[in-house]
C-alpha cells in the first residue's frame, strides 16, 4: 500500500483526509514518523508555507509528503489577513482576538464591500515532483459572530453558496461540501487515487 505523510498533527484534518482516501493509501501524521520538529512557516504566501512544510519532511525523512496552508482574504483590507490569518490578532491561533481585529478594521464598511474568500493551498511532493492544489470559497464578512461550530473565522464568514448561514452555523458535513479545504483536498485525493 502506498504511504504518504501529511505534515500535520491536527487530528481533525488527519481524520478528514483518511476518511476520504479510505483504505487505498496509508496517510501518516508527523507523530507517526516521530517528527516533533517545529517546522518554520515564514513564507509570505500560502503556497510558500505549504511547500516549506512538505519540503522539510521530504528532505529529512525521504518520504512522499503533502502539507497545507489556509488564509482568509478580505478585499476591503487589501487581502488581509491572508498568510497571517492564524496570528492576525497578535497571538497564534487565538480565534477571538483574530475576529475582533477583523471586525474592528471593517467597522462602518457596508456589507456589499465586505467581500472575502477562504483559500487553501496543498503542496504535494512525490519523488522529485511538486504539485499544488487550491481550493477557495467566496463570501462576506458579517458585522458580528453567528454560530458555535467550526473554528477560526467561521462565525463571521458567510459563504455565498450557502444562502445565509455562516460556516459556524453549519454541520461539519455541510461545511466540508463547499469549503476551501474540502475542495483542495478533493483535488489532492483525486490525484493520489488516479496515480495508483
Q: What angle do CA 75, 72, 153 make, to 5 degrees?
A: 120
59, 69, 94, 154: the catalytic one is 69
Extended beta strands in the chain, E state: 2-6, 25-28, 65-74, 81-82, 115-126, 129-141, 157-159
**Direct distance between the N- and C-terminal alpha carbons of the chain, in angstroms, rounded to an integer:** 9
* Cell (9 digits) for 49: 508555507
Given a contact cutoff of 8 angstroms between Cβ atoms, the answer to whether 184 and 133 are in contact is: yes
Using only the alpha carbons of the chain, give its radius of gyration. 17
Extended beta strands in 13-61, E state: 25-28
Active site residue 128: no
Burial class (CB in 10 A: 0-12, 13-18, 19+), 162: middle
Report the SS3 class of residue 171. Answer: coil
Q: Which residues are catalytic?
A: 69
Amino acid at each position: 500500500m502506498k504511504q504518504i505523510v501529511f505534515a500535520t498533527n491536527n487530528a481533525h484534518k488527519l481524520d478528514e483526509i483518511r476518511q476520504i482516501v479510505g483504505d487505498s493509501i496509508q496517510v501518516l501524521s508527523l507523530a507517526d514518523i516521530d517528527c516533533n520538529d517545529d517546522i518554520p512557516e515564514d513564507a509570505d504566501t500560502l503556497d510558500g508555507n505549504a511547500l516549506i512544510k512538505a519540503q522539510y519532511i521530504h528532505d529529512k525523512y525521504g518520504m512522499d509528503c503533502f502539507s497545507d496552508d489556509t488564509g482568509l482574504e478580505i478585499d476591503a483590507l487589501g487581502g488581509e489577513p491572508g498568510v497571517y490569518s492564524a496570528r492576525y490578532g497578535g497571538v497564534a491561533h487565538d480565534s477571538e482576538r483574530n475576529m475582533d481585529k477583523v471586525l474592528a478594521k471593517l467597522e462602518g464598511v457596508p456589507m456589499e464591500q465586505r467581500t472575502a474568500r477562504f483559500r487553501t493551498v496543498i503542496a504535494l511532493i512525490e519523488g522529485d515532483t511538486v504539485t499544488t492544489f487550491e481550493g477557495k470559497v467566496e463570501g462576506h464578512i458579517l458585522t458580528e459572530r453567528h454560530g458555535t461550530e467550526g473554528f477560526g473565522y467561521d462565525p463571521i464568514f458567510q459563504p455565498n453558496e450557502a444562502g445565509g448561514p455562516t460556516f459556524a452555523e453549519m454541520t461539519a458535513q455541510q461545511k466540508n461540501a463547499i469549503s476551501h479545504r474540502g475542495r483542495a483536498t478533493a483535488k489532492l485525493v483525486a490525484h493520489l487515487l488516479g496515480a495508483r
